[in-house]
Structure 1
């Protein structure tokens, strides 16, 4: 037996003496309380301005040539104060600017790349102008940042350690040079069209970096649509890009959320914007802001500046009309207490799995295939079905999430295999659709769920296992 295996056995033997409920109820109370407060404050902001302004503005395309010359970026009248006053006229509470979009052009004074605004004919830091102008007008400041970067070849199957360091360095600049940032909205991560996973650019590392730099900065990933509405996966706030067909299910658990749409037909300015009708102000108020706010969802309306760096007259007029129809009436309904988001790598993905007798078309492989549309389903006559994931070797873990297609499983146990026997560490009732368990770290080569009570044959969309770093530690270091 190796030294590591011997140490593991000692740890396992000590864990056997830890009281069952101490393990099962391990929490991060201070981090949870803090995040819940920030989530409520964000929802209470109700309405803000998204500002898609970057090199795509000058290419008549949302996704321009990644080698587009930086000489294109040359606004003659850029006025961030005009943007802020337009937001104020609509009674918005904040603004969010695209610091870098998918084509990789940075509109701040970055030291990470020459492909930035300081080397363009314009030669001024747009992020600084934006943050200064919005704060001067009493508006809060958020920033958008794209992980996908086609200019720097940060794209599927081409990601290197230098790319990861660039992302960390750029986020560090954005969160240390421009004062308090209420939220960082991240795009191009784990989306079907970007195909950059949370492991390719490690989400947990980036999340903790953000929280170390600015503990009160919310992290929002725009591409969490594949995850169930009832769970916080890889984001502090649930996000819905309504133009891509993403909508909140009315029957789902109330969560802090953000929904977004452009006032025009596209995100970035196009040559026909000044002559085309914008979204109707009454529709914005009655069909978007009000019903979304009632569902604890903040609405962010994109208003794209033109090539001069100004918002077009038709959009300015529409925002003024919105302001006459709507104002922020204060706090929204109180959110339920929520646990911390899942931010780590799923150890159970595509690992060998096993179960009691399954339905032929929904066997155990579908229970940990990283696809919430598939499922493992117990055969209807099995009295106490079980499902397990086999790591093939000992691994440390401290989080388990069981995602069901619908609320069904009521009472169950969770156990781990320590090399000689199964050790139970949870036994109880949980009727949530997303069953989240955080506990002190355990070591084992297998994890098993035994289902003791369910309304109908048990089904599992995803059985997930994580080893996450402590939130308090990550948020207390400088």
Structure 2
């Protein structure tokens, strides 16, 4: 007889218990699948910090160069006049903020101290401040505010725009290489501590000025909210001064942790490489050097470094007039010129910082304000032609985990939600989404955005339209990033449009896709 082995009684389980065990195992597997499907794609290399992601969305804002240079008709303030020279006859920071808000700008950055060294706030670090001039003394005597930085910050808050500060590291007033004949023997003849070989510690003075500005209280007692710090590294002097960038950064992070630090190449945002408000067609949000390392050239800064070591997006600074400070013989750029600038900055994933200088009255001149409004009208007319909307039929080459609700192509048509996007299947680095417009439309521009919260991935894309039964390519682009605006040389007619990702270094994530034009009924 064959030998049989009995199962021990302790291992025997009733059938009902086995069924429950299988159900539990099945439920666990199903739950694991759901959790995997709901997990967002892994971030790709460098990603923006929350403050950087918010800053990307500012897009277009004002630079305000205002100070003694406004009254001496200079750009770099070498004359070193006394604070009495600062004498605006009708200062109105509310008018600044209102003008910027009406123009669709999201913030303003004020020169609290330019290279000349004269402080526009009530500082304890120097006698060379507007508070010691006749204008400020007269205002205080009449019960009026005279701290221009505080006033501008309050106006920005009042009109719902952000406020930033420019504080020049180079300080002509403290630089022994820069002559200051008019100040000899006066209250403003202060120690020349700028420079590594000079007595005293300029880094300590600058740190104190930073701290004063970042801990300022508004007139109602509320703390100042600083959105961006401009740490300009420019200098026209032979004096060598090694700046304590690490210490400056620590002060900013301590007192204004949400503020963007702008520098030649960071920390949070970099120079675009020119002062014309434009960049080249390919622009990466990353670079591979810090502010403490050798400087990139202007050309290198325009392009950036693909898959670089640091998320350091570019900001394009430009002037409404020829100079940074107000000069009566200059005229503002036209709305057409500003639109072209915008398309070559914001339209190429770069923020635009446009300088709008107040005149000697302390106000934005009418022709400048009108130019900004005309520019806004052109932008509004351009963007107010959205053809796509949630509800249009849209297909895609693939959808991540088949989860159309979370990753389907319809998400790209919902421009109101910055947290949703179309994601192709994991591992795929090319793909397409196709929109059925429902009828023939005439269009001439496209806006497309990556979901940069998870990194910049796309290196090439194309946009096609179905014409005479076949797709014809209308646009080819390289880097995508936060936002790309592509305009056609001539309008096109089609009822279907396709966005193709032709190269990416990781699975593409498309946050939004817009088609701009006018509807035309089908024949």
Asked whether the equivalents of residues 280 and 344 of structure 2 are also in contact (C-alpha less than 8 Å), the reply is: no
Alpha-carbon separation, structure 1, partners of 2:366 and 2:277? 30
Query: Deviation per CA, 1:297-351, whole angstroms, max 9, x where unpaired?
Result: 1101111111110111210110111121225987664336579xxxxxxxxxxxx
Alpha-carbon separation, structure 1, partners of 2:376 and 2:279? 26
- Three-state SS of the structure 1 residue aligned to 2:112 is strand
Asked whether the equivalents of residues 54 and 105 of structure 1 are also in contact (C-alpha less than 8 Å), the reply is: yes
Q: Does 1:238 align with 2:270?
A: yes
TM-score (norm 2): 0.52
Which residue in 1 is equivalent to 2:281?
A: 250
Alpha-carbon separation, structure 2, partners of 1:159 and 1:234? 28
TM-score (norm 1): 0.56
- Three-state SS of the structure 1 residue aligned to 2:73 is coil
Root mean square deviation of aligned Cα:
2.8
Of 321, 341, 345, which aligns to 1:292? 345
Which residue in 2 is equivalent to 1:36?
A: 49
Alpha-carbon separation, structure 2, partners of 1:160 and 1:289? 46
Which contiguous aligned blocks of 4+ residues in structure 1 show a shift greater than 6 angstroms?
A: 328-331
Asked whether the equivalents of residues 277 and 345 of structure 2 are also in contact (C-alpha less than 8 Å), the reply is: no
Asked whether the equivalents of residues 183 and 218 of structure 1 are also in contact (C-alpha less than 8 Å), the reply is: yes
Q: Does 1:182 align with 2:236?
A: no
Displacement of 1:295 after TM fit?
2.5
Displacement of 1:292 after TM fit?
1.5
Cα distance change, pair 192–144 in 1 and its aligned pair in 2 (3 A): closer
Which residue in 1 is equivalent to 2:167?
A: 145
Unaligned segments of structure 1, at least 5 residues: 1-28, 225-232, 340-431, 433-478
Q: Does 1:210 align with 2:210?
A: no
Of 451, 455, 466, which aligns to 1:334? 451
Alpha-carbon separation, structure 1, partners of 2:451 and 2:236? 35
Alpha-carbon separation, structure 2, partners of 1:304 and 1:291? 22
Which residue in 2 is equivalent to 1:371?
A: none
Of 166, 169, 186, which aligns to 2:208? 169
Which residue in 1 is equivalent to 2:332?
A: 278
Alpha-carbon separation, structure 2, partners of 1:246 and 1:284? 9
Query: Deviation per CA, 1:39-73, whole angstroms, max 9, x where unpaired?
Result: 12111111101100011101111012353111100
Alpha-carbon separation, structure 2, partners of 1:66 and 1:204? 32
How many pairs does the alignment contain? 292
Which residue in 1 is equivalent to 2:124?
A: 111
Give 1:214-233 correspondences, 5 Å limit: 214-221=256-263, 224=264, 233=265
Q: Does 1:86 align with 2:99?
A: yes
Alpha-carbon separation, structure 1, partners of 2:112 and 2:52? 23
- Three-state SS of the structure 2 residue aligned to 1:292 is coil
Asked whether the equivalents of residues 50 and 301 of structure 1 are also in contact (C-alpha less than 8 Å), the reply is: yes
Displacement of 1:155 after TM fit?
4.7
Query: Deviation per CA, 1:90-111, whole angstroms, max 9, x where unpaired?
Result: 1000111000000000000111
Q: Does 1:265 align with 2:307?
A: no
Cα distance change, pair 251–316 in 1 and its aligned pair in 2 (3 A): closer
Cα distance change, pair 122–295 in 1 and its aligned pair in 2 (3 A): same
Displacement of 1:247 after TM fit?
5.7
Alpha-carbon separation, structure 2, partners of 1:91 and 1:241? 25
Alpha-carbon separation, structure 1, partners of 2:67 and 2:235? 23
Alpha-carbon separation, structure 2, partners of 1:206 and 1:338? 28
Query: Deviation per CA, 1:144-192, whole angstroms, max 9, x where unpaired?
Result: 11000010226555555521111000000110005110110111x2x46
Displacement of 1:252 after TM fit?
4.4
Asked whether the equivalents of residues 203 and 234 of structure 1 are also in contact (C-alpha less than 8 Å), the reply is: no
Alpha-carbon separation, structure 1, partners of 2:323 and 2:205? 29
The structure that has the greater radius of gyration is: 2
Displacement of 1:195 after TM fit?
6.5
